[in-house]
Amino acid sequence: MRAEDYRERRIQIDDWPVTLTSYRVGDVYHCKADNVSPGATLARTSGVTRQQAEEKAIARARELLARTRRQPV
């Protein structure tokens, strides 16, 4: 099987830049959310639809980024 219906987009979650990458393998959509600056993966999720997979990834990324402390520069 190969990935189809690939899409990558950048969004802001609580002032953090995040890249959402989503694609379909078979009948299941997969989504990965990563922090743009270091490129660290925040969440990997799957769902029946692209929207469902992306919503889960955004919710998990929001939860993790809310715990991140910002240091004043």
Q: How many CB atoms lie within 10 A of CB 34?
A: 19
- pLDDT average, residue stretch 35-41: 85
pTM to 2 decimal places: 0.87
Residues of the chain above pLDDT 90, percent: 70
- pLDDT value at position 3? 84
Task: Indicate the fold that domain 4-66 takes in CATH.
Answer: Viral Envelope Glycoprotein; domain 2 (3.30.67)
How sure is the predictor about 72, in pLDDT bands with cuts at 50, 70 and 90?
Answer: confident
- pLDDT value at position 38? 82
Span 44-66, pLDDT tens digits: 999 999 999 999 999 999 999 98
Parse the chain into domains and list their residue ranges: 4-66
